[in-house]
Structure 1
Amino acid sequence: MATIVKTPAGTWKAVIRKTGWPTNAKTFRTKRDAEDWSRRTEDEMVRGVYIQRSGSERMTLEIALKRYLTDITPTKKPTTQRGEISKAKKLTEHLGKYSLAALSADTIANYRDKRLNEPGRAGTTSNNTVRLELALLSHVFTVAIQEWGLGLTFNPVLNIRKPSPGEGRNRRLSPDEERRLFAEVNRHSNPMLGWIVGIALETGMRSGEIASLRRPQVDTERRIVRLVDTKNDGQRTVPLSKRATTLFKAAMINPARPSDCNLVFFGEPGKDGKRRPYAFTKIWGLLVKKLQLSDFRFHDLRHEAVSRLVEGGLSDQEVSSISGHKSMQMLKRYTHLRSEDLVARLDSMSKRKKSLAKPPKAV
């Protein structure tokens, strides 16, 4: 039988001591609540289905996220770490005071709907942003269930609808925008900015892949770049166009590079004296705003590059080997061909068909 005592604070504390089970105690506002909980808990122990839930009842989502960011996040890529820190802030802001046991599917669905209506960079918060926040929350529950022993029996995030990923961006760079963009980056005091933007447009490499490059990875003689740490956890070799090769050659002989620095694109030494990749995100943002390039992001250069590879006649397989897309579906979402270019290709095909249909001239 449970021991039920009144505390100095006027509440009722139930303590259960049963052979084969850890001592369990819980405090209630009324004696009846304490008795009901005791009977229910002892019954579950007898039937062998009791689960210690106190851990999940005491741990708030804010505490769980802090533990996750300390234990789990550091094992991931730096870009993923930064993303999870940002997503954790939003989750904490809205749901941080809830205990893990109190986070129901209904509560999480309300969070989803509220976030989808909050202001974002392009009006409201994007479906993909909310989907990734829910993915982080779901993994926190998975880790809590499998590793932390908090007594959780299920993951409530699995019981709600997730926002669809959306159709993907279709922002292309017009010839006038490209001309103004390169005129501006090439005028910048640091020539590395112009080299980076040009290489991104020529190769379709991600900003992180370019920024982290080291000189041994770049072979201008064979016109290739070897990427060893990509977003998809795989290595790939990127062929270089003539223009990309020229840009890399200029970067490789940069007279401002210190002799002990192997980074192709390097920044100033930090407080610890170490040089890290050239940080151009802030400069890029100011530049795009100055040029009034509406809704244009650095990642759209990759989109533009991949689309141009397809327009140039390369097969999906050839393009994916350059860009690193693992599925043709993702490549399709990433590639947007200009309608006027397709019209020109259709006209070219029609002319070819007509020439083949003409009877040969009599000899």
Structure 2
Amino acid sequence: MATIVKTPSGSWKAVIRKTGWPTTAKTFRTKRDAQDWSRRTEDEMVRGVYIQRSASERMTLEAALKRYLADITPNKKLSTRKSERGKATKLVEHLGKYSLVALTPDLIANYRDTRLNSIGRRGSPISSNTVRLELALLGHLYTVAIQEWGLGLTYNPVQNIRKPSPGEGRDRRLSADEEKRLFTVLRQHSNPMLTWIARIALETGMRSSEILTLTRSQVDVKRRVVRLTDTKNNEARLVPLTIAATDTFKQALNNPVRPLDCDLIFFGEPGRDGQRGPYAYTKLWNQAKKKAGLNDFRFHDLRHEAVSRLVEAGLSDQEVAAISGHKSMQMLRRYTHLRAEDLVIKLDRI
């Protein structure tokens, strides 16, 4: 039987001492609330389904995300760490003061709808994929809290709401004239690494993170292959090189200004620790594409273009996936956009 006493502050404290269970106590505003909680909790203990919820009632989402970013995020890839910090900022801004147990599906659904109707920093609506990834982070936080942190949560509220669709894949292709203008501008830059990086992306379909972290030992120009070990999906793969890609790598490998102690092919200036990280190309790339009149073109679109060209060249889906690293044919199709005029020419050959 629970003990219920009135505290000096006027609230009511219920204390449950039951054999086989740790002493459990909770304070309420009214005696009736204390009695109701006591009966409900003792009943759960008798049925063997009682869960200690005090930790999840005390921990706010802001505190939980701080712990997640400290314990879980550092085990992920560098690019993922950076993006998760940004997603966590938005979640804290809207939901940070709620305790984990207080966040219900309707509150999270309201967050989803609010974000989908928001305008981003660049003046465009927040994409459904951005919101989907924010909810994915929140959902995984609850999974970790339930399975590893032992916070006494009974369910994951994110699982009970509708997730935004990832949206249609971009269909931005690069015309021959645009390619000529772009690389004319890129070659005007004093550092040739900017041109080399863009050319390799267009010829191989590799992601920027895969290109920037390449070391000299990963590139075999004789066999014309690149061995990737640190990929987005954590699966190593060999990327075959076109003649143009091979020539570009030869130039990059023979870069006369590479320091003797640096193994990166595309290297930046030394940091505060004296170590060189990957080449920081983003600002220069944005300037170059605007100068070339390609404001709506993204660096990642080079990967789209490369994959589409591989399909147009007659490679099978399996062959293209082996080169690009796509794990599913569904995702590969999102990245592949064939020009309708090219298909018309092929139809005429039938």
**Distance in 2 between residues matched to 1:196 and 1:295, nearest whole Å:** 19
**Structure-2 residue corresponding to 1:332:** 333
**Distance in 2 between residues matched to 1:317 and 1:33, nearest whole Å:** 63
2:101 alignment partner, SS class: helix
**Distance in 2 between residues matched to 1:296 and 1:311, nearest whole Å:** 21
Deviation, 1:115, is 0.9
Unmatched 5+ residue regions in structure 2? none
**Structure-2 residue corresponding to 1:12:** 12
> Could you report, residue by residue, the CA deviation over 1:86-145 in whole angstroms, capped at 9, with x for unpaired residues?
211111111111111111111111111111111135831111111111111111111111
Letter in structure 2 aligned against 1:96: G
Deviation, 1:10, is 2.7
1:241-320 correspondence to structure 2 within 5 Å: 241-320=242-321
**Structure-1 residue corresponding to 2:70:** 70
Deviation, 1:50, is 1.6
Unmatched 5+ residue regions in structure 1? 351-363
**Structure-2 residue corresponding to 1:61:** 61
**Structure-2 residue corresponding to 1:88:** 88
**Distance in 2 between residues matched to 1:296 and 1:81, nearest whole Å:** 25
**Structure-2 residue corresponding to 1:138:** 139
1:42-61 correspondence to structure 2 within 5 Å: 42-61=42-61
Deviation, 1:278, is 0.6
**Structure-2 residue corresponding to 1:179:** 180
**Structure-1 residue corresponding to 2:161:** 160
Greater gyration radius: 1
1:19-58 correspondence to structure 2 within 5 Å: 19-58=19-58
**Distance in 2 between residues matched to 1:18 and 1:290, nearest whole Å:** 75
Provide runs of 4+ in structure 1 moved above 4 Å.
none
**Structure-2 residue corresponding to 1:106:** 106
**Structure-2 residue corresponding to 1:355:** none
Greater Cα shift, 114-123 or 143-152: 114-123
**Distance in 1 between residues matched to 2:64 and 2:307, nearest whole Å:** 40
**Distance in 2 between residues matched to 1:24 and 1:302, nearest whole Å:** 58
TM-score, length basis structure 2: 0.96
**Distance in 2 between residues matched to 1:103 and 1:269, nearest whole Å:** 45
> Could you report, residue by residue, the CA deviation over 1:240-259 in whole angstroms, capped at 9, with x for unpaired residues?
11111111111101111001
**Distance in 2 between residues matched to 1:283 and 1:11, nearest whole Å:** 63
What is the number of residues matched between the two proteins?
A: 349
**Distance in 1 between residues matched to 2:288 and 2:200, nearest whole Å:** 17
> Could you report, residue by residue, the CA deviation over 1:128-184 in whole angstroms, capped at 9, with x for unpaired residues?
111111111111111111111111111111111111122211111122221221111
**Distance in 2 between residues matched to 1:156 and 1:290, nearest whole Å:** 47
Residues 2, 14 of structure 2: 8 Å contact kept: yes
CA gap 1:325/1:11 in 2 versus in 1, 3 angstroms:
same
**Distance in 2 between residues matched to 1:249 and 1:122, nearest whole Å:** 42
**Distance in 1 between residues matched to 2:139 and 2:28, nearest whole Å:** 31
2:10 alignment partner, SS class: coil
Greater Cα shift, 265-274 or 23-32: 23-32
Residues 185, 291 of structure 2: 8 Å contact kept: no
**Distance in 1 between residues matched to 2:326 and 2:86, nearest whole Å:** 25
**Distance in 2 between residues matched to 1:324 and 1:37, nearest whole Å:** 54
> Could you report, residue by residue, the CA deviation over 1:274-322 in whole angstroms, capped at 9, with x for unpaired residues?
1111111222223333434232211100000111111112221221111
**Distance in 1 between residues matched to 2:204 and 2:191, nearest whole Å:** 21
Letter in structure 1 aligned against 2:189: H
Greater Cα shift, 216-225 or 203-212: 216-225
